[in-house]
C-alpha cells in the first residue's frame, strides 16, 4: 500500500479539482481531460499493488525453500 500513497494523493487532488471546476484539466496536460488522468492513476495504483503482492509471494516462497 505504501507504493500507492503518492498515486492516491494525486488521485484525491484530481477528484477535488473535478468537483470544483466545470471543465477540469491539469495544467501539465491542457488537452487531456481529468477523467482520463484519473483512470490512468487508478490503473497504475492497481498495478503497483499487484506487483507488491507478487513480490511478497515470491519472497515467502524463497524463505520456505531455504
The predicted-structure confidence for 4-38, as pLDDT tens digits, reads as follows: 677 677 777 777 776 676 665 556 666 767 777 77
Band (pLDDT 50/70/90 cuts) for residue 52 is confident
pLDDT > 60? residue 1: no
Q: Measured between alpha carbons, how far is residue 26 from residues 5, 13, 29, 44, 48 in Å? A: 20, 10, 5, 18, 23
Q: What is the pTM of this model?
A: 0.54
pLDDT > 80? residue 63: yes
Q: How many helices (H) and strands (E) does the chain have?
A: 2, 0
pLDDT > 70? residue 2: no
Amino acid at each position: 500500500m505504501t507504493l500507492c500513497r503518492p498515486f492516491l494523493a494525486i488521485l484525491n487532488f484530481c477528484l477535488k479539482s473535478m468537483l470544483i471546476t466545470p471543465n477540469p484539466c491539469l495544467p501539465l496536460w491542457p488537452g487531456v481531460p481529468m477523467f482520463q488522468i484519473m483512470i490512468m492513476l487508478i490503473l497504475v495504483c492497481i498495478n503497483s499493488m499487484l506487483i507488491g503482492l507478487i513480490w511478497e509471494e515470491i519472497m515467502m516462497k524463497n524463505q520456505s525453500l531455504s
